[in-house]
Each structure stands twice: as structure tokens, then as C-alpha cells.
Amino acid sequence: MAKVKTTFFCQNCGSQYAKWQGQCNACKAWNTIVEEVVQKTEKNDWKTSTSTTKKATIPLQIKDIDLTKEPRLNTLDTEFNRVLGGGIVPGSLTLLGGEPGIGKSTLLLQISLKLPYRTLYVSGEESQKQIKMRAERINQNQSNCYILTETKTQNIFKQIETLEPDIVIIDSIQTLHSDYIESSSGSISQIKECTSELIKFAKETATPVLLIGHITKDGHIAGPKILEHMVDTVLQFEGDRNHVFRILRANKNRFGSTNELGIYEMQGSGLREVSNPSEVLISKKDEELSGNAIAATLEGMRPLMIEVQALVSTAVYGTPQRSATGFNAKRLNMLLAVLEKRAGFRLGAKDVFLNITGGITVDDPAIDLAVVAAILSSNEDAAIQKDYCFAAELGLSGEIRPIQRVEQRILEAEKLGFSTIFVSKYNKISLKKLSIKVQLISKIEDLTDFLI
């Protein structure tokens, strides 16, 4: 009888050790190293007929590689296409992570039902009848979608060889297991082995594979960190399960930008694409309230109008509080120091609370002016006109600094019906015949003259 071969893996980072030890040398985590069985049998690679093999087996000069035969695959989902950079790249591996119940399976099932390509949806967590119930709730009938409930990769590849799908969706990578590794499903070695087999299949046949991944309590994708390095794209599906809106971001994308943002609304019939994010990020109110300001920001190539809310009140305790949600707290402290030093506002003894509505996090410095305007409005208890918006960065000396792609922000504000936008005087603007007034300011005192 052959001796069983075991080794030790760190469950946090995936580092391998010959024997057990208390602390991982790579990630410095304690008590994360466990023993796993890694006895391998001799591999028989999955067989692919020559008709489905699309990748050349000989080296080619880069100038001789032809891209015209393999354009991106359109998912017919505008938000998903935007985050991916224009569609699914043939032969790519995309990993989608998110909290339990956030809608990962619903999103990919909805996309698979829309796709005009032959799609194989492999589920290791639900039965075919359960998936059928969700598909009927989504109310999209598509004959190109095939459902397979299987967890062994060898059986999956046999069905792939028979069906020859254009796209493969795996739900989820943590449920798969391979006969070549004797450890349990979800272990470090199983995840690495199953992902390696899927990468080999995707690259040799130019068939894109979409994976769903579980996350840990810390918000990271479960399994070794190397999993995120192996795949081409890592998407994060986030949002509060108590609210209806979901945000899709790209943490890694070899074929596009990681700054793009996709917004969905969870409904009883599935996920609805939100083409106009301002309906999510700007609250509807009948009367003007102090402490609210609208900022024109950008996420990738997409202009967004977001609402900034501030509350300034007298500190109850000796040390004033500084709290920011969706905004960098250190930058908030810097802006408060500029207001106190350059504009003469005494905020050192007051509590300041800042919130970016819609549950998103913004790191664009162009919202500095809106943050300052909201703070001043709350401090003076004077409402800002609801058709005003702001797009500029604030410097330490109190100057209003220019920002990038200001014309795109102005056009978005004009489209949404704003009457005035405040921008830096040093921005070069060549737009003509605008229905929106562009108010140019050069220092923080100019802003206070308009608002107070």
C-alpha cells in the first residue's frame, strides 16, 4: 500500500511547509497552518477535440497574433460589460466574490440566461430544480443555458467536451474537488488544483470561465491569496443586504480599468441595471436642508453626481469627534484645518460628521469643494440651493485647484438639470452654449461669499 503523502498549508495565505508550526512565516498569522493530504495520482489531461482547440501550440511573434477572430463577448448587461472593460475576453478567468446572500448566483444566472452564446452553468451548491425556480423568478427563458449539478472536475470536463459551451460558469470554486488531490473540498490544495485545471482548459480552448468565490469574515476571498493572482479578473459584489442597491467593482482586471463601477437594484424579479446612478446617490426631498451639497465625481469613465451630507454641532465632551463614512477621515481633518486657518471658521471645538449617501466610498479629490460647502452649510445652518453642484480640489493654502476632465462633469451636471456648478478658475473650459452656469472661483473665500 502506497504511503499517504501529506503537507502543511497556511489557510490564510496558502504558504506550504514540511512540518507544522505555530506561526506562518509569510503572513505572520497564528494557528492557521493545517495538515492536508496531497497524494496525487497520475494525471490524464482532459481531452479536447481538434475542432474546439483554438490556441496555437507553437510560439508566434506578437505581430503575427490575430485578434480579429476573438472579439470580446457581449453579455447584454451594460453594467457588467462596463466593469469588465467592454465584455468577456475569450479564454479569461473571472472571479466574483461577495458576502453570502448578496446576489452573486443571481447575477451570474441572470447573465447566463441573457447570453446569446451556449452557456454551461455548473452548480455545486444547488440542485437543478432550485436553479429552475430562481430562473422562473428572474423570468428570462433562454434555451442556450445548460444547468449541471456536479462538483468533481473530471466529470465537469467530460460534459464540457460533449456540450462544447462558449462560456462556463462555476458556482462556486470552493465546492469543486479533483481526484488528483485527496484533501476535502474547499481546502488550499483543492482550490489551487481545480483552478489550475480550469485555467488550462480556458487558455487552450479560448473559452471564458466565470467563478463564484466565497469570502471570509474579513471580507477577503476564501482560500489562498494565490487564487486572486491566478485568475485574470477579480470582481467584488458588495452592498448592504438590508438595502436594495448593489455595487460591482473590479479589484483586478488584466483587460481593463479597475476604476469602473456597476450599480444594480435588487428586485423580486432579479437585479435591475441602474443606468443613471444619480437616482441612487441623490436623495429626493421636498425642502432644502442645511448640510447637503452635490458633488460631480468620476468612477473610471463614468461621471456621477453624489450627495455629501455634513453635520456640525457643539462638542458635548472635551475632545470633538471627527467621523466620516465613505470619505477619508484624514482628508476630512485636513479640510477642517484649512477652513479654520484660511477662512477663519472656528471648528476646533465642534463635532463634525460626514456621510457620502448611497453607501459608496469616494476617493476623488474633486469632491473637496462639496465637502467644504456641506460643512459650512451645516455650521451656519444655511441651506445650499438644490440646483448647485461642486467640482474642485482644495489646497492647503486655501486655493481652489483644477481637476481632470472637468468638461465631462459639467455636461453631466447640465444633463441632470443643475443651474450652477462651482469649479476652479484655473481649469481650461472650451464648452460653448451651455445651459448651466459655470461659476469660477480661485480661493476658499470666494466660496464663502456665495454660500453665506
Could you report the average pLDDT of every consecutive run of 10 residues in the chain (452 residues)?
70 82 88 73 48 56 74 90 92 92 91 91 92 85 85 93 94 88 80 90 93 81 79 88 80 88 86 80 76 89 89 85 92 93 85 88 92 94 91 93 92 89 91 88 88 74
What is the reported pLDDT for 53?
A: 41
CA 8, chain centre distance (Å):
33
Question: Residue 293: its pLDDT value, please?
Answer: 94
For residue 38, the model assigns a pLDDT of 66
Is there a contact between 425 and 381 (Cβ–Cβ < 8 Å)?
Answer: no
Beta strands in 276-409 (DSSP E): 292-299, 302-314, 322-325, 350-356, 388-391, 393-394, 400-401
Q: Residue 146: in which H helix or E strand, if any?
A: strand 145-149
Length reported for the chain: 452
Rounded to a whole number of angstroms, the CA Rg of the chain reads: 26
- Residues 371, 332 contacting (CB under 8 angstroms): yes
Supply the pTM of this predicted model.
0.75
Angle between helices 329-342 and 368-380 (to 10 degrees): 60
**How many helices and strands, by DSSP H and E, does the chain display?**
11, 21
Q: Give the pLDDT confidence score for residue 184 in this predicted structure.
A: 78
Q: What DSSP character marks residue 249?
A: E
Report the distance separating Cα 394 and Cα 385, nearest Å: 21
271 SS3 class: strand
Taking residue 213's Cβ as centre, other Cβ atoms within 10 Å add up to: 26
- Local structure of residue 358 (DSSP, 8 states): G
Q: From CA 334, how far away is CA 396, in angstroms rounded?
A: 8
C-beta atoms surrounding 334 within 10 Å: 14
pLDDT the model gives residue 56: 44
